């Protein structure tokens, strides 16, 4: 019993975690809203707007704070004026060479012996050098575009750039297992699937159990999920329970995502017919023992708003399940596992079970396979 109560404390702590983490994240992001100096992406001319007014000063800001660069500036002027004087292309480039060696290449001195000719010829082929003109103009002048250049620059296009983004999907059975224990054989599954983009996704989630060859419980959720922050998706949709008892439908809203320390977490609230309500929360963790052997603890808890004798669920905390599964990844996609699962029922749910002659809690070994595609 005592480990069940300590588990309970953990459930509550974890159920509260998503909202805390969300708050933390939004706090982390907000301080940067409105900072200049970054590209304003909503602006159709994004690169320009945030820096308006800086243009004229950018160059000065940089060099004024660097007394040591004065010499370099001098070289700049020298280069420009040489070119202006109408010297052949070699002059300005010699100036460049001088400027470069000025820039502090002591480290290269040792390589002088590599019988490599002087670099003077390297850039001497610049056909535009003799055209350099006004101070502040580029050493290598910007060519004046012709109509042919303009036509070549912006050809009419029939198609936009095709991209690899688009629609993706994943189907993953995290639990797909069987057991043979008192009171009998059984199987269980828990899987989820998504299809969509990076932010908007359609989610399917399902879990259920079979005992003695009969389906004891089975549900399917169809949810729209939207990324609301780096680590959290908001989900809304419907859940349908095929079992236990008469089938029923719920409206569902919840969050799922990854909490700090890489806890995978989901919490969903349900509103059903005739005023029924429920809450389901689950947390999983993955602990690699080796690169292929992974220990996966998980805890799932269900709460209900009111008693439902036909389905054997009582108000308040109904059931909690803790599992520890050790899987071996034969392949990333296919990993057999063994696990130990403990399930416990509480309050009125426990009373219903007692009246049915079922045990209030159950511990069993399971074998299964985790797979995805």
- In the region spanning residues 149 to 178, those forming contacts with another protein, defined by CB under 8 A, are 149-150, 152-155, 157-165, 168-170
Q: Is 231 in the site for another protein (CB under 8 A)?
A: yes
Q: Is 309 in the site for another protein (CB under 8 A)?
A: no
Q: Nearest distance from residue 235's CB to another protein, in Å?
A: 13
Q: Is 134 in the site for another protein (CB under 8 A)?
A: no
Q: Which two three-digit tokens encode residue 327? A: 């899987």
3-state secondary structure at position 18: helix
* 33 contacts: CB under 8 Å, gap ≥ 6: none
Q: Is 117 in the site for another protein (CB under 8 A)?
A: yes
Closer CB to another protein, 9 or 153, in the complex: 153
Closer CB to another protein, 46 or 183, in the complex: 46
Q: Is 202 in the site for another protein (CB under 8 A)?
A: no
In the range 268-307, which residues lie near another protein by CB under 8 A?
287-291, 295
The whole-angstrom separation of Cα 192 and Cα 174 is 8
Closer CB to another protein, 73 or 363, in the complex: 73
Closer CB to another protein, 107 or 246, in the complex: 107
The whole-angstrom separation of Cα 282 and Cα 301 is 6
Q: Nearest distance from residue 248's CB to another protein, in Å?
A: 33
Q: At what angle do helices 70-84 and 90-102 cross, to 10 degrees?
A: 170
In the range 69-98, which residues lie near another protein by CB under 8 A?
69, 72, 76, 79-80, 93, 96-97
Listed residue (240, 244, 184, 246) closest to 213, CA to CA = 184
Q: Which of 13, 20, 74, 199 binds another protein (CB under 8 A)?
A: 199
Q: Is 147 in the site for another protein (CB under 8 A)?
A: no
Listed residue (170, 168, 174) closest to 371, CA to CA = 174
- Counting residues that bind another protein (by CB under 8 A) gives 107
Give the chain's end-to-end CA distance (angstroms, integer). Answer: 39
Q: Nearest distance from residue 187's CB to another protein, in Å?
A: 26
Instruction: Indicate the helix (H) or strand (E) that contains 237.
Output: strand 232-243
3-state secondary structure at position 332: coil
Which range of residues in 5-13, 133-141, 204-212, 270-278 is near another protein by CB under 8 A? 133-141
Q: Nearest distance from residue 340's CB to another protein, in Å?
A: 18
Q: Which of 70, 74, 215, 262 binds another protein (CB under 8 A)?
A: 262
Which range of residues in 111-119, 215-223, 274-282, 299-307 is near another protein by CB under 8 A? 111-119
Q: Which of 145, 183, 184, 245 binds another protein (CB under 8 A)?
A: 145
Q: Is 1 in the site for another protein (CB under 8 A)?
A: no
Which range of residues in 134-142, 180-188, 209-217, 309-317 is near another protein by CB under 8 A? 134-142
The whole-angstrom separation of Cα 359 and Cα 345 is 9
Query: 332-357 b/e with 16+ CB inside 10 Å = b?
Result: eeebbbebebbbbbbbbbbbbbeeee
DSSP string spanning 137-183? Answer: S-SSPPPPPPHHHHHHHS---SSPPP-S-S-EEEEEEEEEEEEEETT
Q: Which of 216, 222, 258, 326 binds another protein (CB under 8 A)?
A: 258
The whole-angstrom separation of Cα 36 and Cα 46 is 12
The whole-angstrom separation of Cα 62 and Cα 50 is 18
Cα dihedral 306, 309, 313, 314 sign: positive
């Amino acid at each position: 019993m005592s480990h069940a109560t300590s588990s309970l404390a953990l459930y509550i702590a974890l159920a509260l975690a998503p909202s805390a983490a969300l708050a933390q994240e939004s706090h982390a992001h907000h301080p940067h809203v409105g900072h200049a100096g970054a590209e304003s992406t909503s602006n159709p001319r994004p690169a320009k707007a945030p820096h308006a007014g800086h243009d004229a000063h950018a160059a000065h800001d940089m060099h004024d704070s660097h007394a040591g660069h004065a010499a370099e500036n001098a070289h700049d002027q020298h280069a420009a004026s040489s070119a202006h004087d109408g010297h052949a292309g070699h002059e300005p480039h010699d100036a460049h060479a001088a400027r470069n060696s000025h820039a502090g290449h002591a480290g290269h001195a040792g390589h002088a012996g590599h019988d490599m000719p002087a670099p003077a010829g390297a850039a001497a082929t610049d056909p535009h050098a003799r055209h350099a003109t006004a101070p502040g103009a580029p050493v290598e002048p910007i060519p004046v575009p012709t109509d042919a250049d303009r036509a070549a620059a912006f050809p009419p296009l029939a198609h936009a750039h095709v991209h690899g983004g688009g629609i993706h999907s994943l189907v993953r059975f995290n639990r797909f297992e069987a057991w043979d224990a008192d009171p009998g054989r059984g199987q269980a599954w828990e899987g989820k699937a998504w299809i969509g983009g990076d932010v908007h996704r359609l989610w399917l989630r399902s879990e259920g159990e079979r005992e003695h060859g009969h389906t004891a419980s089975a549900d399917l959720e169809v949810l729209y999920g939207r990324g609301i922050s780096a680590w959290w998706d908001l989900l809304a949709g419907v859940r349908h329970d095929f079992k236990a008892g008469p089938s029923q439908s719920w409206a569902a809203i919840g969050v799922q995502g990854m909490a700090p320390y890489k806890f995978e977490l989901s919490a969903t609230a349900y509103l059903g017919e005739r005023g029924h309500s429920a809450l389901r929360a689950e947390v999983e963790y993955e602990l690699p023992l080796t690169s292929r052997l992974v220990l996966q603890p998980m805890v799932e808890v269900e709460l209900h708003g009111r008693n439902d004798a036909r389905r054997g669920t009582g108000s308040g905390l109904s059931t909690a399940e803790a599992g520890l599964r050790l899987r071996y990844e034969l392949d990333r996609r296919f990993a057999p596992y063994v696990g130990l699962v403990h399930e416990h029922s509480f309050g009125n749910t426990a009373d219903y079970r007692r009246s049915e002659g079922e045990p209030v809690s159950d511990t069993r070994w399971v074998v299964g396979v985790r797979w995805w595609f």
